[in-house]
A and B are shown apart, each in its own frame.
Chain A
Amino acid sequence: MQRPKSYQISFLLVVLALLLAWVLNISSGSVAIPFEAMLSSLFGGKIEVESWNYIIWNYRIPKGFTAVLVGGGLSVSGLLMQTLFRNPLAGPFVLGISSGASLGAALLLMGTSLISGFASFTLLNDITLAIAASIGSFLVLLVVMVVANRIKDTMALLIIGLMFGSITAAIVSVLAYFSTAENLQRFIFWSFGSVGNLSQTQVLLLAGITGFGVLLSILSIKRLNAFLLGENYAQSLGVSLKKSRLIIIIATGLLAGGITAFAGPIAFVGLAVPHLTRQIFDTMEHRILIPAVFLYGAILMLLCDTIAQLPNSASILPINAITSLVGAPVVIWLLVRKRKMLF
């Protein structure tokens, strides 16, 4: 906390890496576009094929922007949870927040059609999906918070998060059993996760939610730092526990819930990125960690999305699978290497 300046070079490198990852991300996709053509399109130059211009500006750039928001936002929410729950293994996926969002989405996509078959179409749009998923994640987060207050054992908390995941999976499969094939398909595609296919309004809405969540996180920096000592110490430093917890939870719920609503449940980013970030930014100061974690998450998401696109092929892999393939080994590697995870 003494010399935040010493991380300036690291920040510069990370920002450069982000730009590289972004260029890589938008230069690859199912349609092969030559690199020079892409650059000239970006800088408003002439381009041989008009459809390339359209693909870059209307598909790839919004997708890259979404990936930045999703990766950065999820990672910041993971960082907030690790500090709030004093647990290095906390993250939106592990604590069942993503499951809650899934449940909200599943109830909306498949449940409403059970209750009133015809009304569901009018109810179903992006906004209601986002609201349902956010409500689901908020509810789970509140329950986890209540449990965390009663049970001081952090391992128990993780197990409860996993149980929430199981309960959600069970309810979803019951809903799926009674659901129409069409609605089931919509849910399955949502649950694969995707940063593409978002309309301009959706991207803007996502940017608004993520921006607000990050803003709340930035306003909580001082409290988050105090929480590193433990709640009693934080209180003795003049931090109001109830108010701080509420603000941090709202920030986490907005980030994790909002992002999951639009991009589907994306695993491991929130858990793994804060630990990866600390490999370079070896500090606990949230003033440095919040921007660093956001940038790192954005890079990771852009890279995962680039892989998921399977460059020059028409098929797209579910991004949720890619992040798990990347994230899970990282967590194992960290645990094995350090024997214990510190946060």
Chain B
Amino acid sequence: MPDSKTSSISTNGLTIGYKSKAVAGNINFSCDSGELCAIIGVNGIGKSTLLRTLGNLQPKLYGSISINNQDLSTYSSGDLAKKLSVVLTEQPSSKNLTVEELIALGRQPYTNWIGTLTSKDKIYIQESLTAFLLKELRHRKCHELSDGQLQRVLIARAMAQDTPLILLDEPTTHLDLYHKVQILKLLQSLTHNEGKTIIFTTHEIDLAIQLCDKILILDGEQNPFGEPCQLIENEHFERLFPEEMVVFDPKTGAFKVSK
């Protein structure tokens, strides 16, 4: 992938939430090209809100978000759609779309007023289908797919959008361990081989520790951010959950139920 497509995202003193109520504050992190970053934290701490705010789907409250050292709010919606794509937990509104149709929608920022696909667009769609092992399923309707297949389709759509930055909200929920690892490995190869910047929220902390380059822990106070081994050394994972329920084992990088 060309160097001009590299991208970084960073926040400074970011506070997210809704007009009436802040959800989380003091969020500082930065992700560079070729890095896979996970956002972890307990339920309701604001992971999805943060992801939507980063994706410009929801206004921030205070602080700043920059993409390539340029403030997020200065991008036009058309330009941003070429910089950043999202995979959300919400299902597509129409389950009557075929796999190929859905992935083709990812090309919208590049197509003309009526959405005609050029041969270049078709190449991107084919590449996405191949990369996510969806060639066999291309003419299937979305309502005929399993959860894991639909998740792959949604990520393939984001890849067809060809943005240097991809944000994913809980891409591994509802999947079994094999498919979880399959999705995360795909994300890892996209970052390491193609230089994309990928940020995703997850509850799979042990998998994130093994696969991610950086992790942001949302704890509602300090929100520590860094490489997984740094965070382990500084005992940040230990404080994530109440000790009487689960304990973190720094040697294996996994949580165990307290006996």
A and B form one complex: yes
Q: Contacts A1-B104, A1-B117, A343-B94 given; indicate if A232 touches B111 (C-beta within 8 A).
A: no
Chain A residues, CB < 8 A from B94: 83, 86, 228-229, 284, 342-343
Contact in complex: A235, B57 (CB < 8 Å): yes
Residue of A nearest to B141 (CB): A342
Instruction: Please give me the residue from chain B that is nearest to A283 by CB atom.
Output: B101
- Of the candidate stretches A185-193, A237-245, A254-262, A305-313, the one touching chain B is A237-245
| B114 interface hit (Cβ, 8 Å) | yes
Complex interface bits, B98-124 against A, C-beta within 8 A gives 1, otherwise 0: 101110111011010111010000100
How distant is the Cα of A86 from the Cα of B94 in the complex, in angstroms?
7
- Residue B86 lies at the interface, judged by CB distance under 8 Å to chain A: yes
Question: Are A222 and B115 touching (Cβ within 8 A)?
Answer: yes
Contact B100 A1 (CB under 8 A): yes
Q: B161's contact among A219, A221, A237, A240, by CB below 8 Å, is which?
A: A237
4 extra interface residue pairs, beta carbon distance < 8 Å, beyond A228-B105, A238-B82, A342-B96: A1-B100, A1-B117, A225-B115, A236-B81
CB pair B115–A221 under 8 Å, yes or no, is: yes
A285 on interface, CB distance cutoff 8 Å? yes
Residues of chain B within 8 A (CB-CB) of A218 are 114
A178 touches B (CB below 8 Å): no
- Give the shortest distance, in Å, between A231 (CB) and chain B (any CB): 8
Cα A227 to Cα B143 in complex, Å, equals 17
Residue of A nearest to B101 (CB): A1
Chain A residues near B80: list those with CB within 8 A.
Answer: 238
Please tell me the size bucket of the interface on B.
35 or more
CA A285 to CA B125, docked complex, whole Å: 16
Given A2-B100, A226-B108, A284-B97, verify A238-B113 contact (CB < 8 Å). Answer: no
Partner of A229, one of B84, B92, B125: B92
A238 touches B57 (CB 8 A): no
- 8 Å CB contacts to A: which residues of B128-156? 141, 143
Residues of A within 8 A of B93 (CB): 86, 227-230
Which residues from chain A sit less than 8 Å from chain B, CB to CB?
1-2, 83, 86, 218-219, 221-222, 225-230, 232-233, 235-240, 278, 283-285, 287, 342-343
Contacts of B78 in A (CB 8 A): 238
Q: Is B85 an interface residue (CB 8 A)?
A: yes
> What residue in chain B is nearest A227 (Cβ atoms)?
B93
B88 within 8 Å of A (CB atoms): yes
Q: B46 near A: Cβ within 8 Å?
A: no
Complex alpha-carbon distance, A83 and B84, angstroms: 25
Residues of B within 8 A of A342 (CB): 94-96, 141, 143
Residue of B nearest to A222 (CB): B115
A232 in contact with B108 (CB, 8 Å): no
In the bound assembly, the distance between CA atoms of A23 and B96 in angstroms comes to 35
Residues in chain B near residue A232, CB distance under 8 A: 52, 57, 86, 88, 90
Task: Tell me if B25 is interfacial: C-beta within 8 Å of chain A.
Answer: no
B78 (CB) vs chain A CBs: closest residue: A238
A225 → chain B closest CB, angstroms: 6
B41 interfacial contact with A, CB 8 Å? no
Query: In the complex, are the beta carbons of B100 and A235 less than 8 A apart?
Result: no
The complex places the Cα of A228 from the Cα of B95 at a distance, in Å, of 9
Q: Is the CB of A225 within 8 A of B108?
A: yes
